[in-house]
Amino acid sequence: MKIIAFCGAGIGTSAILKVNAERALARLGIDAQIEATDIAGLAVAAEDAQVILASPELVKFIGKTYADVVVIENYFDLDELTRKLEIALG
């Protein structure tokens, strides 16, 4: 299973999202690969991804995808991440 953490520059915020999503997955006992990427790398990275995690501000940049787009409001809130990942992957 593959999950994308998406941000504008591909450093910083997407890496924070990746770290916290990994913690949420650990809580759920789900084994998945999480890849942080920027807008330039998104199309390729998302080809075989089940879920794209993104800020509400960035959803409009995602374009057509078969992956579930999950909007995360607070990147540090493990309860929010766990709840939304559980729904998306359940």
Partner 1 sequence: MRLDELPDDVIELRARATDWRQAVRLAGDALVAGGVVTDAYTERMVQVVEEFGAYIVIAPGLALAHARPGPDVLHDGLAVVTLDEPVVFGHPHNDPVEVVLALAVTSTEGHVTVLAELANAFNDPTATRSLARASTPDAVRAVLTRTQSES
Among 1, 33, 47, 74, binds partner 1 (CB under 8 A): 74
Separation between Cα atoms, residue 13 and residue 7, nearest integer Å: 6
69 binds partner 1 (CB under 8 A): no
Among 11, 47, 48, 87, binds partner 1 (CB under 8 A): 11
Residues 6+ apart with CB under 8 A from 19: none
Stretch that binds partner 1, among 42-50, 62-70, 73-81 (CB under 8 A): 73-81
Helix (H) / strand (E) element for 40: namely helix 39-46
Min dist CB 69 to partner 1, Å, is 14
58 binds partner 1 (CB under 8 A): yes
Contact 36, 7 (CB under 8 A): yes
Give how many residues touch partner 1 by CB under 8 A: 28
Torsion sign, CA atoms 61, 80, 15, 36: negative
Binding site for partner 1 (CB under 8 A): 7-13, 15-17, 19-20, 23, 27, 38-39, 54-58, 61, 73-78
